[in-house]
Amino acid sequence: MLYGPGATSVHRQTLANCWLWIANYHAEPRNTAPWGTWRMWQYCGDGKCNLRPRSLFPKSVANIRKAERNIFRGDNAALQAFWRENAWYPSG
C-alpha cells in the first residue's frame, strides 16, 4: 500500500513508476498523485453502477450483471499493446 504505515519514500517512488489501476465507484479518479493519471479505472465492482451519464458505463458484461467493470485509458490498439507488455505468463 502506497500510504501504509510501512511505506517509505523509496516504496512510493517505485510504485509511482508503475501503471495505476484504480478502483473508484463514485466518480472518475481525479487526484492520482504521485501518478500523473490512471491507466485502468474499475468503476463497478458489484454490478451496481450509479455513474452518469449511464450510456457511457456498460451495465453488463456478456449478459453478466454482477461483474467488475473497468475502463482502459486508450484505444483498442493501445489496450492490446498494454496487455502484451504487462501480462504475466506462469511457467510450467
**pLDDT tens profile 43-78:** 888 777 777 777 777 777 788 878 888 899 999 999
Query: Is there a contact between 69 and 40 (Cβ–Cβ < 8 Å)?
Result: no
Q: Whole-model pTM?
A: 0.75
Cβ density class 18-43: b for 16+ within 10 Å, e for less: eebebeeeeeebeeeeebeebbbbbb
Residue reference for cell 513508476? 17
Residue ranges of domains in the chain: 9-86
pLDDT given at position 42: 92
